[in-house]
Amino acid sequence: MTEKTYSMKEALIFSQRIAQLSKALWKSIEKDWQQWIKPYDLNINEHHILWIAYHLNGASISDVAKFGVMHVSTAFNFSKKLEERGLLQFSKKENDKRNTYVQLTEQGEAVLLGLMDSFDPESNVVFSGTLPLKELYGKFPDIIEIMAIVRNIYGDEFMEIFEKSFSNIDSKFVEEEGKLRAKETGEKEFV
């Protein structure tokens, strides 16, 4: 039998600390997120699905569920609503008839790019809460411990997709006059 490296009191204090901090942070994140996407008549799940479809470029519903941290039926139902609005299209692959795949339509991509263009950091409470740390340390928090916890829960593939979306933003977008815009096709970097 392996000896525990923690006490029951430490385990309870840590678990409750992370639960209460996560709930408080999520409440602010949720409010910020909803305010950002409200003009586009989207909810958080729909926006997340558009985000995943954009960055995975042809994700299966299972991938959407996994990387969107939602049940498969939730991923499918919200994807169906996005399809009805003309923002997503469903497809099957010739060599994989079991899975349903989603892809952004031109209209869906336009909505997602419009959202990115409309992002206003100054109206984002969570972002504003990190500014004192940026001013103190010269950079935004890496949140490496939280990322390690998430990696241990959801795995390496989840974190690879997580990082890919931010790498895509870095390589596929430019900032002009304080706004993000997608690079023109000729401007895109090739990996």
Four-CA torsion 117, 103, 45, 164, nearest 10 degrees? -70
What architecture is domain 20-182?
A: Orthogonal Bundle (1.10)
More confident residue, 168 or 152: 152
Q: Would you say residue 189 has pLDDT above 80?
A: no
Q: What is the pLDDT of residues 96-107, one digit of tens each?
A: 788 899 999 999
Domain boundaries, the chain: 20-182
Beta strands in the chain (DSSP E): 59-60, 88-93, 96-104, 173-176, 179-182
What does the pLDDT read at residue 190?
33
For residues 162 and 55, give the distance between their C-alpha atoms in angstroms, rounded to a whole number.
Answer: 9
Q: What is the pLDDT of residues 28-84, one digit of tens each?
A: 999 999 999 999 999 999 999 999 999 998 899 999 999 999 999 999 999 999 999
Task: Provide the 8-state DSSP code for 87.
Answer: S
Q: Are 61 and 91 in contact (CB under 8 A)?
A: no
What does the pLDDT read at residue 185?
62
For residues 68 and 54, give the distance between their C-alpha atoms in angstroms, rounded to a whole number.
Answer: 13
Q: Would you say residue 1 has pLDDT above 80?
A: no
Look up residue 145 and give its two tokens: 């411990």
